[in-house]
């Protein structure tokens, strides 16, 4: 899945008519945020620190970028980043994180 | 300059505050305990730096989330954002960025006021102690998570008689994102 997202990201950055020359640099160039098929919609958010958030939902959902930002700042930062047992870069399982995330996503 | 000052204050207003004295005293207790555990002052410096590094790699996520800052285009902008928004948000002080090297890869953060060292005096037995090395570690860890490898050290320390705190940051290299290499058929 990483390959798919990474290729989509570089593809959209290179196609950008305004910033196409700066595709490789951070801070300039665009990044894709969602794609839709007839059965699902995939929304994507990447932080400057490299953490990527992917949300797969019903295609009728509206723009989920704000929701993803909220998940990042209120749920991920609070329950994962601040968790002393967690080392960045490793896969993690954290029940509090999962339950808060569940509750939040159900409310969308 | 103005554009960064406002987000700094806004971010500062948004964060939960903790009592400054509690913070200072807790940090002092940590350093004292480290001094008791390790006989050698250099060891303590290294410990503080690695503690700071562990804090930095997590702090960067909180910083990015709470300050809503966009990706910085280069090291200059990064240093500005660190000084105006980052330090303001977490320590409540705004250091000035100065002493840029000609290639733009090294700079200094100058602070008159440092909440970590309120009420602190270094005794004669610990003159080699770099009391604020934790800050260097935090900066190094945070920058490493946004793919900038840096070297951060304290150049001037008010506890040792200088008139200002100076932290020198040097960008070693910008590491592009590593891809987990997948073998395609």
Q: Do B65 and A28 touch (CB under 8 A)?
A: no
CA distance B22 to B171: 33
Q: Which residue has the tokens 């569940």?
A: A102
Q: Do B61 and A26 touch (CB under 8 A)?
A: no
Encoded tokens for B9:
């204050």
Q: Which residue has the higher pLDDT, B29 or B5?
A: B29
CA distance B108 to B154: 9
Range of the domain at B110: 19-174
Q: Does residue B6 fall inside a structural domain?
A: no
Q: What is the pTM of this model?
A: 0.81
Q: Does residue B7 fall inside a structural domain?
A: no
Given B57, B64, B179, which is nearest A47 (Cβ)? Answer: B64
Q: Kindly tell me the sign of the dihedral angle through the C-alpha atoms of B137, B167, B149, B130.
A: negative
Nearest-neighbour CA in chain A from B144: distance (Å): 9
Q: Does residue B119 fall inside a structural domain?
A: yes
Q: Do B146 and A48 touch (CB under 8 A)?
A: yes
Residue B183 has pLDDT above 50, yes or no: no
Q: Do B65 and A25 touch (CB under 8 A)?
A: no
Encoded tokens for B51:
């503690």
Q: Does residue A84 fall inside a structural domain?
A: yes
Mean pLDDT in residue range B98-109: 87
Q: Does residue B179 fall inside a structural domain?
A: no
**Range with lowest mean pLDDT among A10-19, A36-45, B42-51:** A10-19
**Range with lowest mean pLDDT among B3-17, B60-74, B119-133:** B3-17
Rounded to 5 degrees, what are φ and ψ at A54?
-120, 130
Euclidean distance between the first and the last CA atom of chain B, given in angstroms as a whole number: 52
Sheet architecture: strand order including A34-36: A34-36, A41-46, A52-57
Q: Which residue has the tokens 């008159």?
A: B112
ipTM value: 0.71
Q: Does residue A76 fall inside a structural domain?
A: yes
The tally of domains found in chain B comes to 1
The CATH number of residue A82's host domain is 3.30.450.70
Chain A: residue whose CA lies nearest to B146: A49
- A28 CB neighbours in chain B (<8 A) are 73
The CATH number of residue B53's host domain is 3.30.1380.20
The tally of domains found in chain A comes to 1
Residue B8 has pLDDT above 70, yes or no: yes
Q: Does residue B8 fall inside a structural domain?
A: no
Q: Does residue A17 fall inside a structural domain?
A: no
CA distance A17 to A8: 16
Q: Does residue A21 fall inside a structural domain?
A: no
């Amino acid at each position: 899945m990483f390959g798919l997202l990474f290729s989509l990201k570089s593809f959209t950055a290179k196609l950008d008519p305004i910033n196409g020359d700066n595709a490789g640099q951070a801070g300039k160039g665009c990044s894709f945020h969602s794609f839709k098929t007839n059965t699902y919609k995939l929304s994507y958010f990447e932080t400057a620190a490299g953490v990527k958030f992917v949300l797969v939902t019903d295609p009728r959902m509206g723009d989920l970028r704000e929701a993803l930002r909220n998940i990042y700042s209120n749920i991920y930062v609070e329950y994962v980043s601040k968790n002393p047992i967690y080392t960045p870069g490793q896969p993690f399982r954290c029940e509090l994180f999962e339950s808060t995330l569940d509750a939040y996503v159900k409310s969308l | 300059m103005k554009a960064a000052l406002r987000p700094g204050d806004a971010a500062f207003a948004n964060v939960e505050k903790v009592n400054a004295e509690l913070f200072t005293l807790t940090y002092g207790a940590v350093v004292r305990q480290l001094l008791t555990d390790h006989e050698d002052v250099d060891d303590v410096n290294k410990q503080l730096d690695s503690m700071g590094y562990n804090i930095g790699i997590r702090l960067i996520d909180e910083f990015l989330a709470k300050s809503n800052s966009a990706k910085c285009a280069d090291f200059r902008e990064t240093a500005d954002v660190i000084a105006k928004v980052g330090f303001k948000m977490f320590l409540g002080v705004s250091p000035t960025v100065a002493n840029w090297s000609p290639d733009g890869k090294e700079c200094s953060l100058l602070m008159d006021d440092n909440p970590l060292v309120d009420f602190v005096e270094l005794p004669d037995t610990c003159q080699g102690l770099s009391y604020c090395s934790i800050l260097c570690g935090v900066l190094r860890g945070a920058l490493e998570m946004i793919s900038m490898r840096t070297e951060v050290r304290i150049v001037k320390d008010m506890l040792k008689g200088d008139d200002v705190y100076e932290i020198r940051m040097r960008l070693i290299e910008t590491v592009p994102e590593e891809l987990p290499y997948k073998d395609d058929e």
